[in-house]
Amino acid sequence: MKVLVTGVNGQLGHDVMNELAKRGYEGVGVDVAEMDITDAEAVRRVMEEVRPDKMVHCAAWTAVDAAEDEVEMCRKVNAEGTENIARMCGEMDIPMIYLSTDYVFDGQGTRPWEPDDPVVQPLNVYGQTKYEGELAVEKYTDKHYIVRIAWVFGVNGKNFIKTMLNLGKTHDTLTVVDDQIGTPTYTYDLARLLVDMLEKEEYGKYHVTNEGGYISWCDFAKEIFRQAGMNVTVTPVSSDQYPAKAKRPSNSRLEKKKLTEHGFTRLPDWQDALARYLKEIM
């Protein structure tokens, strides 16, 4: 099996390539230098040259706050770029995985979001453009997985854990929001599940994060410092006391039972994932 992976320089694309190699599959990794997804002709040229059996589309504009000012560029990458890929996957009959986000939902309430819940009014430009990407995937190809993830961390790139560890070196006390609830996702674990999906044909929308229960960012920060053995006091604060350009969802709970129903192994607990991750980076 030959798999084309976009966004290979990011946290997830990096781990997907490693997982493919572990299982003896041929991974062809591209980033913007090799295939600018916003250029339909470039996408066509590379895909016709590579002729992959499957596609994992990880590339995205993920700078959530910057997206509020760079609306056109964010849409070009997340919506139009995804449309370029989905159209070619449809033409070439290539099954694809599209990585989406909890941000497609409006973030209200406390009930965990089901994969097939209707999407209404994403809170920010990033969420809206990722949803537009979902619509493109559904329009152009029948053989697809739309995989929504949240609170992502991996070895390759920036993330909340690395930010906390860096701040903890110079601060004894930190304030972290406690009214945004969700679950972290370790890209190493996610990559394994994505390759499991490539091996099957259980297409559709899925939610994927690590198990271990729903937490706040404040809870997550406390556990990071506890496991890292750093004496940092974490004080809870509400989101309105920590203003950001893009509005964040307060409810990022994702329901994952559909994975089990379709024969997929769910991810390990986030506490275990964090412990393994810290061993990798510390």
* pLDDT grade for 243, boundaries at 50, 70 and 90: confident
pTM listed for this prediction: 0.97
Q: Is the pLDDT of residue 242 over 90?
A: no
259 by Cβ neighbours in 10 Å (0-12 / 13-18 / 19+) ranks as buried
Three-state secondary structure of the chain: CEEEEECCCCHHHHHHHHHHHHCCCEEEEECCCCCCCCCHHHHHHHHHHHCCCEEEECCCCCCHHHHCCCHHHHHHHHHHHHHHHHHHHHHHCCCEEEEEEHHHCCCCCCCCECCCCCCCCCCCHHHHHHHHHHHHHHHHCCCEEEEEECCEECCCCCCHHHHHHHHHCCCCEEEEECCCEECCEEHHHHHHHHHHHHCCCCCEEEECCCECCCEEHHHHHHHHHHHHCCCCEEEEECHHHCCCCCCCCCECCECCHHHHHCCCCCCCEHHHHHHHHHHHHC
Average pLDDT over residues 229-243: 94
| Cβ neighbours for 22, distance < 8 A, ≥ 6 positions apart | none
Instruction: Output the pLDDT for position 43.
Output: 98
**C-alpha 4, offset from chain centre:** 17
Instruction: Output the pLDDT for position 120.
Output: 86
Instruction: Output the pLDDT for position 209.
Output: 98
Mean confidence (pLDDT) of the chain = 97
Q: Which residues partner with 30 through β-bridges?
A: 6
Task: Out of 23-27, 108-112, 153-157, pick the least confident.
Answer: 153-157
Q: Is the pLDDT of residue 256 over 90?
A: yes
For the chain, the domains span 2-158+183-211+254-267
- The rounded distance, in Å, linking the Cα atoms of 118 and 116 is 6
Task: Out of 25-34, 120-129, 240-249, pick the least confident.
Answer: 240-249
Average pLDDT over residues 193-218: 98
| Cβ neighbours for 172, distance < 8 A, ≥ 6 positions apart | 231, 232, 233
Is 126 noted as a catalytic residue in this protein? yes
Average pLDDT over residues 10-31: 97
Relative to beta strand 144-149, strand 204-207 is parallel
Instruction: Give every strand in the sheet of 204-207, ordered side by side.
Output: 26-30, 2-6, 54-57, 96-101, 144-149, 204-207
Tens of pLDDT along 87-99? 999 999 999 999 9
Torsion-angle region of residue 109: left (phi > 0), alpha (psi -120 to 50) or beta? left
Residue tagged active-site, from 98, 103, 126, 145: 126
Q: Which residues partner with 207 through β-bridges?
A: 148
Tens of pLDDT along 43-78? 999 999 999 999 999 999 999 999 999 999 999 999
Average pLDDT over residues 172-195: 98
Instruction: Output the pLDDT for position 224.
Output: 98
Instruction: Output the pLDDT for position 157.
Output: 85
Helix 40-50 × helix 82-92 angle, to 10°: 40
Specify the CATH number of the domain 2-158+183-211+254-267.
3.40.50.720
Instruction: Output the pLDDT for position 112.
Output: 98
